């Protein structure tokens, strides 16, 4: 991730800057602001108490898609006086520090990425509303998930070790939120391995944590890191805007 302080930008500026990195990605949760369909609001009002905040849990963005977004960008407008930080972990460094024996075990494996856990958590802990997770929570009680959400719960199988298409760097493609199985392994076999990989990637030596300020602009490469938001600022407003750049099928 890389960040810049004190950027005075409009939605149009963010859209234009983001577009320099490639076409916009499909966004799995949010809708754009009027007039800027690719600039997605991430707003938690001071009056909102959410059971679970959008982005909670270590994750890479929308890996359940066949072609997950390569790059995500966030611009901070209103920031709580405390809390609301974002933390990232370097999954390429995590891969590089594995033993050769573990690298050989992981090399042929495919991870199952699904929105299933997010749907379960949102339905259990979030009231239906117009927030990204509130929209997912509104599926609670339906006899059948809408096709759009069912497609994301069915998800995608991707290489557990992916190679960055530009730099050739290898990284672990695994997270706490969406990685739910490994092709060909039983759940009892896959769960401990995925659990180990998530703990390995997210150990503090591989992380950095951003204290937001208004006008901070952040960009990160979802192919080589995971990130997490915190639900620790009830009573204060947090307003950020996100853009995502299309990626390729992980290979």
What is the binding site for ligand SIN (CB under 6 A)?
42, 54-55, 72, 86, 227, 229, 240, 242
For ligand SIN, which is the closer residue by CB, 74 or 193? 74
Instruction: Tell the smallest beta-carbon distance from residue 102 to ligand SIN (Å).
Output: 28
Q: Report CA-CA distances (Å) from 131 to 54, 59, 93, 194.
A: 8, 19, 34, 29
For ligand SIN, which is the closer residue by CB, 160 or 240? 240
For ligand SIN, which is the closer residue by CB, 83 or 128? 83
Instruction: Tell the smallest beta-carbon distance from residue 40 to ligand SIN (Å).
Output: 9
Instruction: Tell the smallest beta-carbon distance from residue 240 to ligand SIN (Å).
Output: 6
Give dist(CA 243, CA 14) in Å, integer.
Answer: 8
Residue nearest to ligand SIN (CB): 55
Burial status of residue 52 (CB atoms within 10 A of its CB: 0-12, 13-18, 19 or more): middle
Give dist(CA 84, CA 72) in Å, integer.
Answer: 18
DSSP string, 144-188: S--HHHHHHHH-EEEESEEE-TTT--EEE---SSSEEEETTS-HH
Instruction: Tell the smallest beta-carbon distance from residue 131 to ligand SIN (Å).
Output: 12
3-state secondary structure of 197: helix
For ligand SIN, which is the closer residue by CB, 55 or 159? 55
For ligand SIN, which is the closer residue by CB, 80 or 190? 80
Count other C-beta atoms under 10 Å from residue 9's C-beta: 16
Instruction: Tell the smallest beta-carbon distance from residue 85 to ligand SIN (Å).
Output: 7
């Amino acid at each position: 991730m890389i960040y810049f302080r004190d950027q005075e930008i409009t939605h149009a500026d963010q859209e234009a800057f983001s577009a320099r990195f490639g076409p916009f990605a499909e966004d799995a949760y949010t809708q754009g602001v009027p007039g800027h369909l690719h600039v997605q609001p991430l707003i938690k009002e001071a009056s909102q108490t959410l059971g679970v905040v959008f982005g909670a849990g270590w994750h890479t963005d929308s890996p359940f898609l066949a072609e997950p977004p390569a790059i995500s960008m966030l611009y901070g407008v209103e920031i709580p006086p405390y809390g609301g930080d974002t933390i990232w972990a370097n999954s390429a460094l995590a891969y590089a520090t594995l033993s050769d024996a573990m690298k050989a075990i992981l090399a042929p494996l495919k991870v199952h990425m699904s929105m299933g856990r997010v749907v379960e958590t949102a339905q259990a802990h979030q009231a239906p509303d117009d927030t990204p997770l509130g929209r997912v929570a509104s599926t609670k009680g339906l006899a059948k998930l809408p096709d759009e959400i069912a497609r994301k719960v069915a998800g995608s199988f991707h290489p557990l070790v992916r190679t960055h298409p530009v730099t050739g760097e290898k990284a672990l493609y695994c997270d706490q939120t969406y990685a739910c199985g490994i092709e060909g392994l039983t759940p009892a076999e896959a769960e401990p391995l995925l659990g180990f990989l998530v703990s390995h990637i997210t150990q503090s030596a591989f992380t950095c944590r951003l204290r937001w300020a208004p006008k901070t602009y952040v960009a990160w490469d979802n192919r080589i890191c995971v990130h997490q938001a915190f639900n620790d600022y009830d009573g204060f407003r947090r307003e950020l805007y996100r853009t995502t750049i299309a990626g390729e099928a992980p290979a």
